[in-house]
Structure 1
Amino acid sequence: MTELLDYGGLVLAVAALAALTAGASKAGFGSGVAAVATPMLAMVLDPSVAIGAMLPVLMAVDVAAVRAYWRKWNSAAAWRLIAASTAGIAAGAALHSATDPDVFRIAIGGLALAFAAWQGARMAGWLVLPERPMPPRAAWLAGAVAGFTSFVSHSGGPPVLVYLLGLKLPKTEFLATTVLIFWAINLMKLPVYAALGFYKGGAVPLILWMLPFALIGVQLGLWGARRLPERAFFAATYVLLALAGGKLVLDGLA
C-alpha cells in the first residue's frame, strides 16, 4: 500500500484513466483506441514503467476476447505474423537496452503521432488500404514492424491491419485473427519486459491498482458502443492521442 501511495495522486489518477481507456477500447471500440493509454501513462511515469504496467492490464482484457473467438482465426496468417513479430520484439529490447528514457519517450510519442495521423487519414478517406491479397512474404515485414511498435508502445495494429485486410477475411475470422496475434505478442513481451527490469520497485502495486479500472472500462465500452456516435468518439480519441504523443516528443527532446 505504501509503495502505491508513493506514486502520488496525479499518477494514480492518470493510471486509472489509462486503464479505463484500454478496457473500454478493447471491449467496445476496437483495440486501436487503446493506443492512447500508453502515451497517457508515459507522460507521468518513466516510459519503461508505463509500458510495463500497461501490458498485464491489456492481457487481462485480452483473455475474454481470445475465449470468445477461440479457433475462429486464420491460422496460417496468424502464425506467420506471430513468428515475424519475434524479430521486432528483439529489436525493441535492443533499443531499450542501448538508449536512455528520453529516446523511449520520443519513440512512444512519435508512434502515437504516426498512429493518430494514420487513423485520421483513414477516417477522412485520404488513405485507402490495398484490396488485393499480399504475398505471404509480406507477413514477415508486417509482423516484424508490429512486434517492434507493440514492444515500444503497445501500438502494433496498423501493419497487421494492412496485411490482414488484403486477405479479405470474413469479419469474424478477421477479428479472431487480430485477437490471437496480439494475445500471442503480448505473451512474448511479458518475459522480455521482466528481464529488462520493467517490474522492479512498485510496478506490481500499480498494476493491481489499474486492473479493476480496466474491468470497469470493459463494461463502459460495451455500454458506449451501443450509445455513443462512433465517429465522434474516435475523432476525440485520436486528437488526445496526438496531443499526448506531441508532449512526449517535446519532453524527450527537452
Structure 2
Amino acid sequence: MRILITEDNPKLLIQLDAFFQEQGFSVDLADDGERAQFLLTEYSYDAVIMDLGLPKIEGIDVIKYARKKQITVPILILTARDNWEQKVLGLDAGADDYLTKPFHLEELLARIKALIRRSAGHASSLISAGPIQLDLTKQLVFLDQKELELTAYEYKVLEYLLLNPNKVISKTELTEHIYDQDFDLDSNVIEVFVGRLRKKIDPDNTLKPIETLRGRGYKLSLTQSKDSV
C-alpha cells in the first residue's frame, strides 16, 4: 500500500515515515501544502495523512482541491487543532477521519488500515477469495486454512490485487503502489513476484487466480466472499 504523509514538523514527519515503512507501506512525504497538492495530482495513493497547519497551502484547502479534482483517496486529518469546529470543517471539506495530536502510532495505523479496506468495500480485516484468505491486520495469508510463507513484496502484490478484485491492474500501477517513487518502473521484478505467487497460491495450477492480460496487466479473478460485520 502506498500512502502520502503531509506534516510540517520535520521530526514528526521522519518518525511517521520510519514507522509506516516498518509496517510495509510505501511512503511519500510532503512538508507543505503545495507539494502535497502536486503529489496528489501526479500519483495514486491508497490513503493520505493530512496535517491542517501546512505552509503555502492549508491542509483544508488541499483536501478541497483533491475532492474538486475527483481524487477519491481516503484522507485522515492529523492535527493539533482539537476543537469540534475544526473537525467539522475538515470532514465537510472531504476528509474521511480525524485524529488529534498527541496520538498513539498504533491507533493511527489501525485507522489508516480501516480506511483502506473500507474504500475497497471491506468491513472486516479478513478478505477471502476462493481458498485464499488474507488477514490485513496481521499481514498473513492462508490457503485452504494453512498459512503461506510469502516474502514482504509477494504479500504486497497479493494484498493489492485482493483489494482490487476483477480490476485490471497495470504493471506500472502495481509497481507504484508497492514501491517508492524512485523505483525502476521498467524492471521485470513484478513478473517475478507474480510468478512466485502463482506457484504458492495455486501449486497444482488449477485455480489460475491471477490472470495476465497481455499489454494491460494483471487481474485477480477469484470470487470474493462477503465480509462479516
Shorter-normalised TM range = under 0.3
The structure that has the greater radius of gyration is 2
- The answer to which structure has the higher strand fraction is 2
Taking structure 2 as the reference length, what is the TM-score of the superposition?
0.26
Which structure shows the bigger proportion of residues in helix conformation? 1
Q: TM-score, with normalisation over the residues of structure 1?
A: 0.24
